[in-house]
């Protein structure tokens, strides 16, 4: 059938921020393709757990907060202890802070960089150490952004972090491609999640954004499910350092 190329049967996927939004959409997609899920981060995993279980897969939740003080090695160890292995890492956890550049605070800078960029690197490092020691293949999917390509406004640390994620995706691909680890990224466009609530609530901004999206609608978390499965599966074994936009055509305008 050829579908075995995208099967994740017997695999375990670690998803940061898997309890809601984009992370939830990707976790459910990975489970639908056969993977068991470790959801990492704060929040109630009940909804994601129910959806993963509905696909006949297991979910283990780790309530660790990513950022200062997080023990990434411990997160990977617990994942392996609970579900037997670790094959896929989705670095999805992300936060955003908005203020004019002239007013932007150091705390809003540090908070965002710590979660979006620093945690992405050290989570990848802990995962890769495990995969290499176990002598297996690994797949890392980073979540970049439209602001990996564009500047945006009023989100200085977010733009810096997501531009950094794009660079990190390439750097890690360069180092690990020959060692059996694929590192790629998905760059979501404008999605209906908690991070974009402020934009969607602003009638003018919402209209401007929708008017520029060729698909004519905001993305839904389910739109990321199968792109994530593709990058997690053997179908993408020769892809390294790619940043795949899933944006309704936004970048094509």
Whether 168 and 144 have beta carbons less than 8 Å apart is answered as no
Percent of the chain with pLDDT over 70: 99
pLDDT mean over 160-171: 98
Strands of the 138-143 sheet, one edge to the other: 59-62, 36-40, 12-16, 88-91, 138-143, 181-188, 243-246
- At 175-225, the pLDDT tens digits run 999 999 999 999 999 999 887 888 889 999 899 999 999 999 999 999 999
Axis-axis angle for helices 46-54, 21-32 (nearest 10):
20
CA 79 to each of CA 15, 23, 223: distance values in angstroms, whole numbers, following the listed order: 11, 17, 26
- At 131-142, the pLDDT tens digits run 999 999 999 999
Catalytic residue among 72, 158, 190, 238: 158
pLDDT exceeds cutoff 80 at 2: no
Interatomic CA distance for residues 175 and 189, integer angstroms: 28
Mean pLDDT of the residues in the chain: 96
CA 217 to each of CA 24, 129, 144, 147, 192: distance values in angstroms, whole numbers, following the listed order: 20, 40, 20, 19, 10
Burial 6-20 (b: 16+ CB within 10 A, else e): bbbeebbbbbbbbbb
190 part of the active site: no
Interatomic CA distance for residues 44 and 209, integer angstroms: 31
């Amino acid at each position: 059938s050829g579908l075995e190329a995208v099967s994740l049967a017997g695999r375990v996927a670690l998803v940061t921020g898997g309890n809601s939004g984009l992370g939830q959409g990707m976790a459910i997609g990975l489970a639908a393709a056969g993977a068991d899920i470790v959801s990492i981060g704060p929040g109630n995993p009940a909804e994601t757990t129910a959806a993963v279980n509905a696909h006949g897969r297991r979910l283990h939740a780790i309530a660790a907060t990513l950022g200062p003080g997080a023990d990434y090695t411990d997160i990977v160890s617990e994942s392996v202890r609970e579900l037997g292995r670790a094959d896929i890492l989705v670095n999805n956890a992300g936060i955003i802070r908005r203020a004019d550049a002239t007013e932007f605070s150091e705390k809003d800078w540090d908070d965002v960089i710590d979660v979006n960029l620093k945690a992405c690197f050290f989570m990848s490092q802990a995962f890769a150490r495990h995969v290499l020691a176990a002598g297996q293949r690994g797949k890392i999917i980073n979540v970049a952004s439209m602001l990996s390509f564009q500047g945006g406004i009023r989100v200085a640390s977010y733009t810096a972090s997501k531009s950094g994620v794009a660079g990190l995706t390439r750097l890690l691909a360069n180092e690990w491609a020959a060692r059996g680890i694929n590192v790629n990224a998905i760059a979501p466009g404008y999605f209906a999640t908690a991070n974009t609530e402020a934009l969607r609530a602003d009638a003018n901004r919402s209209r401007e954004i929708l008017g520029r999206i060729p698909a004519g609608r905001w993305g839904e978390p389910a739109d990321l499910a199968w792109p994530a499965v593709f990058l997690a599966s053997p179908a993408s074994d020769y892809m390294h350092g790619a940043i795949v936009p899933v944006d309704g055509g936004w970048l094509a305008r």
